[in-house]
Chain A
Amino acid sequence: MILYLLRRVFLLAFVFIALSILAFSLGYLFPGDPLQNFTGLRTISAEQLPLLIAEYRMDQGYIQQYLGYLQRIISGDWGLSFASQQLLLVEIKMLLPATLELAAYALLISFFVGIPLGIIAAIKPDGVLSKAISALALTGYSLPIFWWALLLIMVFSLWLGWLPTAGRIGVLYEIPYQTGFMLIDILLAQSQYQQEALFNALRHLLLPTLVLATFPTTVMIRFTRDSMLEVWEQSYIKTARAKGLSRSQVLYRHGLRNALLPVTRQIGLQFSTLITLAMITEVIFSWPGIGRWLIDSIYQRNFPAIQSGLLIISTLVITVNMLTEVLHTLFNPLARKR
């Protein structure tokens, strides 16, 4: 087990190095002056130039430059954004929690809706209910998320006027930034309108979460159902049934546990999909998260921001993936042998 963990840690380190090399080389791959791409300064004056060249080791070889880059990344100096001329790390710290918050709620919905529906669909694979769930899952699976989001906005915001179309909270509520997670920040803020603010934030949260949760939920339904049906074919289930246990008893005692094990592995995979879909959701709902920021940066050719945005998102995705894999292995001794 320790060997396994060590191997994983080693792999993670390898991955980060590969990622940082990629991010570093982007400074050269992007159009424009590499020094501007690294520093994020829009204009570099003549007196600044020699200082910066020395600081960024531009006069030395690529390997020296890369090591300098790595050092800066680790020490938290990620350069400036072309657009706002602010520190990138500060901007990312402001934006990332918004994305994580949205993704976390969507992920939870996908679990608490997807798994039960998947199980129900597996109980009687040929029943009407099961067919309906499967059809629903297939529909949800095929929905282009941006179209779905627009349809929901058209119905619930513009037509019925029930829900807001954009943002995390009504702009009149001033919630000071503390953790970046809106609901926590509201609870931490000692304001007189805590309850109303919470209510308002939830109304803003409802549609984006629903939109974002659609795809992972349907994946979850399909995965759980298939996993259950597969377990159903295993010999130990057949043995249990032969012993005279009813279908639901077998399902509960033997099937569920074994079927849900691979589901835990899904967290990681779902998370990465979620982050991508969150980018689109954020654009449509004007959600001030890292995805919308990254896409805006691509429009604005804000190369330093693209560089660090990619680094942070890939790191996040890969770390979560690796962690869930380790967790999965922890719970499932069979997987350790691989």
Chain B
Amino acid sequence: MKTLTGQAWCRLKTAGSTVMLCSMLTLSACQPQLPEAVRSGLVYCSEGSPESFNPQLVTSGTTIDAISQQLYDRLLDIDAQTGELKPGLASNWQVSSDGKVYHFSLQSDVQFHHTEYFRPSRALNADDVVFTFNRIMQKQHPFHYQGGGNYPFFQSVDWAGLVANVSAEQPLLVRFELNRPDSSFLSNLATDFAAILSAEYGKQLLQSGQLQRIDSHPVGTGPFRFREYQKDVLIRYYRHNDYWREPAKPEQLVFDIVPNNARRMAKLFTHECDVVAFPRIAELELISKRADVDVQESTAMNIGFWAFNTAKAPFNQVKVRQALAMAINRDAILQAVYFGHATAANSVLPPTSWAYNANLEPLKYDPAQAKALLAEAGYPNGFSMDIWAMPVQRLYNPNALKMAELMQADLAQIGIRASVVSYEWNTFRRKLGDNEHDSVLIGWSADNADPDNFFRPLLSCSAAQTGSNRANWCDENFDRLISQALLTADQKQRRSYYMAAQQYLSEQMPLLSIAHSQRFQALNSQINGVQINPYGGIALAGASKEAK
């Protein structure tokens, strides 16, 4: 203990003089010349820790943002502007005429990460793709049960039932054999979940018996390579210098994990963070006043809606549902709940989707006609009902309780006595699954750009059975439309099906679409080249810091 005090003494002397020096330096705003790894390094302040470093295993946006686009590549990518598919690791692909066999030609000379724990001896080939997807599909695969054996995204699209076989025909040619045609197959391959892993790394782990490291010490082909992860503190990546596309601009990328909203904002203002995820909508105005900080927004692929329990009276009557929808002043909601940072929804699909039906008649706010419709349906004096409001904040609905209170006032105008109901989140979802509700304020965030991702999980008959169909709506006509849309690969034809489906929805009104909320991100105004991707995780490879 004596020696420790001695050390402390020495340290104080240096510390004392340097503290003086550094406070002088800060006052004169003189910055020392910074080395490259620090100067060009980028700090992204994220809202939480990742669950895993393998996107196959997760669904949470936090994890996807932190790992997918940085560490991995996919066979196909989605163009952020148009939402169309473009080549990724697969330079081109062919579909057989029956839509059941797909061939993908891989890019040549794609290098995997060279890290402290793995030295790749070869470039990417078809074995890696086979390894990646067999892990998901084959229960006897050595890595299948590593990490629990759950692949939530792939299970939700019935991957195992769809894909019969994946094989390597040539070193750079992969063959996918499907059990039935599925036009959303390619879109699913382009999601952030379908990252390509290294078969060689898997082999090395099998030999050393460290199977669990495949998800904790990742190896991919992405623009950054993994360096370290301190739980709840940070993730550190370095640039993958042999990246097959243009190498990333930042030499270093750090995800600083700051769950607290106020702290993330503080770090943005003190320039400890370059990019900040999810600034609070209430504070956007404050942020945009600052010269050193920019706010970016993009319409994300989501929908906030008010679903009626169509199995219950009086909500089984189309006229009642239409009356209720007409009675709601959605403009007021957009202002009070979304602070104007959302677009009014006309359809379940966001306008950015290629299948969006722009010809739909916009729904009018018309209490008088709503009252007339109610009378036609046999309720001239209105009725009593519940509005269930989810207790948590989500991108698609930042404050459901507030929204419910606003709607309560609107409904009172047409003689409907609404009461607001809410439970703790898990209880809420359980009771909702049991269809105990009259109506509910909830929403949906899409996993990929394919329109099917909005229709099937939300409103199909099978979804009504599994409980994710909040409107409890099962309509033969609608189901036929969306199933037919999946069986054809021709986009024009698919679009016509989806257009019809949307038209049908706006007539039947099983749910009232309220808003497509924007996603926000705040960043230091010196940062260029960061954009929010509406279809998935954030990509930071193109970011550069422009020193003033």
User: Is A178 positioned at the interface, with any CB of B under 8 Å from its CB?
Assistant: no
Tell me which of A162, A167, A173 contacts B26 (CB under 8 A): A162
Q: Is the CB of A199 within 8 A of B32?
A: yes
Q: Which residue of B lies closest to A200 (CB)?
A: B38
Closest CB of chain B to A196's CB: distance in Å?
A: 5
- Chain B residue nearest to A288 in the complex (CB): B233
Is the Cβ of B43 less than 8 Å from the Cβ of A171?
yes
Give every chain A residue within 8 A of B231 (Cβ-Cβ).
84
Interface string of A167-196 (1 = CB under 8 A from B): 100111110000000011000000011011
Please, which residues of chain A bring their CB within 8 A of the CB of B32? 195-196, 199
Query: Which residues on B sit within 8 Å (CB–CB) of A104?
Result: 8, 11
Does the CB pair A164–B12 fall under 8 Å?
no
* Residue contact B38 to A196, C-beta cutoff 8 Å: yes
Task: Tell me if A135 is interfacial: C-beta within 8 Å of chain B.
Answer: no
Give the Cβ gap from A198 to chain B, nearest Cβ, in Å. Answer: 7
- How far in angstroms is the closest Cβ of chain A from B10? 10
B25 near A206 with CB under 8 A, answer no
- Chain B 11-37, CB-CB to A under 8 Å as 1, else 0, gives 110111011001101110000111101
Let me know if A163 is at the binding interface, CB within 8 A.
yes
B residues in contact with A184, CB < 8 Å: 11
When the two chains form their complex, are residues A202 and B18 in contact, meaning their CB atoms are under 8 A apart? yes
Q: What B residues does A323 contact at CB under 8 A?
A: 1
Could you tell me if B267 and A165 are in contact, using CB atoms closer than 8 angstroms? yes
- Of A9-17, A67-75, A118-126, A153-161, the stretch lying at the interface with chain B is A153-161
CB distance from B3 to the nearest CB of A (A): 12
Contact between B234 and A171, CB atoms less than 8 A apart: yes
Given A112-B12, A170-B38, verify A164-B1 contact (CB < 8 Å).
no
Say yes or no for B272: interface residue by CB 8 A criterion: yes
Q: Is A146 an interface residue (CB 8 A)?
A: no
Residue from B1, B33, B41, B228 within 8 A of A172 (CB atoms): B41
A206-B19, A320-B1 known; A158-B270 Cβ under 8 A? yes
CA distance A171 to B33 in the complex (A): 17
Residues in A neighbouring B256, C-beta threshold 8 A:
171
- If the complex has contacts A171-B43, A173-B38, A174-B236, are A161 and B22 also in contact, measured as CB distance less than 8 A? no
Q: Collect the chain B residues with CB atoms within 8 Å of residue A174's CB.
A: 37, 227-228, 236, 252
Verify B12–A108 contact, CB threshold 8 A. yes
Q: Give the size of the chain A interface in residues (CB under 8 angstroms).
A: 38
Contact partner of A161 among B37, B233, B252, B269, CB < 8 A?
B269
Give the CA-CA distance A196 to B37 in the complex, in Å. Answer: 12
Q: Does B254 contact A (CB under 8 A)?
A: yes
The reply to whether the CB of A141 lies closer than 8 angstroms to some CB of chain B is no
Q: Are B22 and A206 in contact (CB under 8 A)?
A: yes
Q: Which A residues from 254 to 295 make CB contacts under 8 A with B?
A: 286, 288
A105 to B26, CA, bound (A): 21
Chain A nearest CB: distance from B363 CB in Å?
A: 44
Q: Confirm or deny: B180 has a beta carbon within 8 angstroms of a beta carbon on chain A.
A: no
Complex alpha-carbon distance, A85 and B199, angstroms: 28
For window 72-131 of A, CB contacts with B under 8 Å fall at 84, 104-105, 107-108, 112
Q: Is A250 interfacial (CB-CB < 8 Å)?
A: no
Proximity string of chain B (111-122) to chain A, C-beta cutoff 8 Å, 1 when within and 0 when not: 000000000000
**Is residue A166 contacting chain B, with contact meaning CB distance below 8 A?**
yes
Task: Let me know if B272 and A164 touch, CB within 8 A.
Answer: yes
Q: Are B12 and A193 in contact (CB under 8 A)?
A: no
Question: Nearest-CB distance from B230 to chain A (Å)?
Answer: 8
Instruction: Determine whether the beta carbon of B271 is less than 8 Å from that of A161.
Output: yes
CB < 8 Å: which of B18, B227, B252, B266 contacts A198?
A: B18
B269 touches A172 (CB 8 A): no
Pair B266/A157 contact, Cβ less than 8 Å? yes
Interface check A57, CB cutoff 8 A = no
Least distance between A160 CB and chain B CB atoms (Å): 9
Q: Please state if B15 and A105 are interface contacts (CB–CB under 8 Å).
A: yes
CB of B431 within 8 A of chain A? Answer: no
* Given A161-B271, A172-B252, A202-B15 contact (CB < 8 Å): yes
C-alpha gap A192/B18 in the complex (Å): 19
Closest to B14 in A: A183
Q: Is A203 an interface residue (CB 8 A)?
A: yes
Interfacial chain A residues near B14, Cβ < 8 Å = 183
Residue of B nearest to A176 (CB): B228
Q: Which residue of A lies closest to B40 (CB)?
A: A172
Chain A hits for B269, CB < 8 A: 157-158, 161
B141 interface residue per 8 A CB criterion: no
CA distance A116 to B104 in the complex (A): 78
| B267-A166 in contact (CB<8A) | yes
Distance to closest chain B CB from A173 (angstroms):
6
Question: At the interface, yes or no: B263 with Cβ under 8 Å from chain A?
Answer: yes
> Which residue of A has the minimal Cβ distance to B18?
A202
Q: A84–B256 Cα gap in the complex (Å)?
A: 18
The interface residues of chain A lying within 8 Å CB-to-CB of B34 are 193, 196
B228 CB to closest chain A CB (Å) equals: 8
Using known A-B contacts A105-B15, A203-B22, determine if residue A164 contacts B35 with beta carbons closer than 8 Å.
Answer: no
Report A102 CB to chain B, min CB distance, Å: 12
Q: How far is the CB of B217 from chain A (nearest CB, A)?
A: 15
A107 to B233, CA, bound (A): 27
B8 with A193: CB separation less than 8 A: no
- Point out residues on B near A: beta carbons under 8 Å: 1, 8-9, 11-12, 14-16, 18-19, 22-23, 25-27, 32-35, 37-38, 41, 43, 227-228, 231, 233-234, 236, 252, 254, 256, 258, 263, 266-267, 269-272
Ordered by A's residue number, 28 sampled pairs between the chains whose C-beta atoms are within 8 Å are A104-B8, A105-B15, A112-B12, A157-B266, A157-B270, A158-B266, A158-B270, A162-B27, A165-B266, A165-B267, A166-B263, A170-B38, A170-B272, A172-B37, A172-B252, A183-B11, A192-B35, A193-B38, A198-B18, A199-B22, A199-B25, A199-B32, A202-B18, A202-B19, A203-B22, A206-B19, A286-B258, A320-B1
Q: Which 8 A/B pairs are nearest by Cβ-Cβ distance?
A: A172-B41, A193-B35, A108-B12, A171-B254, A172-B38, A104-B8, A162-B26, A165-B266
Since A157-B266, A205-B15 are in contact, a sample of 6 more A-B pairs with Cβ atoms closer than 8 Å, ordered by chain A residue number, is A108-B8, A162-B26, A167-B272, A183-B14, A199-B25, A203-B22
